[in-house]
Amino acid sequence: MTSRTMTRPAAWLPLAAAGLAVAALVGLPFLTLAPNRLVPGSPVGSGLAGAAAGGLALLAALLLAGPARPWRARLALLAALAAWCALLVGAGQGAAGLLAGKPQAARAALGSGAWLAGLALTGLAGEAARAALPRRGGLVAALLLLGLVSLAAWAGLLGSLSLAVEYRVRAGAVGEAVLHHIGLAGASLLLALAVSAPLALLHLRDGPAARLVDGLVSGIQVVPALALFAALVAGLSGLLTLVPALRALGLSAIGPVPAVIGTAAYLCLPLVRGLAAGLAAADPDVLAAARAMGLTRRDVLLRVRLPLGAPLLWGALRVAAVQSVGFATLGGLVGAGGLGALIFEGMAQFAQDLILLGALPVIGLALAVDAGLALLAGPASGEEPA
């Protein structure tokens, strides 16, 4: 069996993705038109652009469902990308047409059909890319789709969509929020690593200490986020009242400090368990041989346990890094800023586009972190990057 045959997607998967795209474009609103950003819009169909996107999606699925041939996979990828182009052109021109002659406050937004069809076409393009390029096909598909959307946005094709209008109003704030969010996630991950590494070493000694560590890190997971962050605010406030000098060090009860501590607390469970599993991955006979050679406990850790457990250790770091991006959003609850502040502001105003303006970069950052760490881990762990 050749590698080409092995990477061929299951026949039903591309067909299901294409069918979902067609059903979404036919049965759900492609766009919505509202008098302003705060009220629900009236549904609008996809029209000719939807028919073109659906037809191209079906073509891509049929090419992938046939005999596994490199040329069929490449044509399927081109068809899936062309379907995405039709979707973007239809959305941009459709929004511009709907807003022609309307008041400035009117908004044309993507409907549920456009979002669902876009998701299905993304999966279809990913399957085609993995069939055409067995190594890193998913990454290539993601970069191509990102390039298409960026090119359409740069050309002004999507400028009439309400999400683009909202972004133009808050472009500076969004950029600052993204950088601040990365800072919150990075600081939380570093703090969680500093706490979890010694706990993972303690976990290697199977006994009361290990059970205590499990109880602590598992107990935090069952505490609701709102309760945990509220408790951190109250606790930090009481601590600063008792020791006012801590304020000079930059500590505060509201802002990044409780957000970083709370996020790090949620990251401890995957990190402690993953690090402990990695450190315990070495075969007992290998450890016994290392000790018989006269290696100290520190040498065994650095020269045996860490190299042999590297795949598991890296996997734990990857999971925690992705989770840190998501959990940092909760910092908006305690005035820490970042993308969470945009999301909660949009929820308070019932403004869907403002919520998306914060949520979409969070999703993009999480995917980018996961893909980046997967690429770095691939050569060392034997993983095939997506």
User: Which domain, by its residues, includes 263?
Assistant: 171-381
Domain count, the chain: 2
Task: State residue 149's pLDDT score.
Answer: 87
Q: Do 129 and 46 share a structural domain?
A: yes
| Residue-averaged pLDDT of the chain | 86
pLDDT tens profile 213-265: 778 888 888 888 888 888 888 888 888 888 888 787 778 888 899 999 999 99
pLDDT band, very low/low/confident/very high, at 202 (cuts 50, 70, 90): confident
CB atoms near residue 103 (< 10 Å): 8
Residues 118 and 162 in one domain: yes
pLDDT of residue 379: 52
Residue 381: phi, psi to the nearest 5?
-105, -5
Are residues 320 and 182 both part of a single domain?
yes
Same domain membership, residue 358 and residue 339: yes
DSSP-based three-state secondary structure for 100: coil
Residue 191 pLDDT greater than 90, yes or no: yes
Q: What is the pLDDT of residues 32-86, one digit of tens each?
A: 998 887 788 899 998 899 999 999 999 999 998 877 788 888 899 999 999 999 9
Q: What is the mean pLDDT of the segment spanning 179-195? A: 94
Q: What is the pTM of this model?
A: 0.84
Percent over 70 (pLDDT), the chain: 94
| Cα-based distances in Å from 343 to 159, 178, 257, 321, 331 | 21, 12, 20, 21, 11
By C-alpha distance, which of 23, 9, 13 is closest to 117? 23
Residue 386 covered by a domain = no
Chain segment 216-229, per-residue pLDDT in tens = 888 888 888 888 88
Residues 178, 162, single domain; the answer is no
Stronger pLDDT, 212 or 363, i.e. the higher one: 363
Residues 27 and 58 in one domain: yes
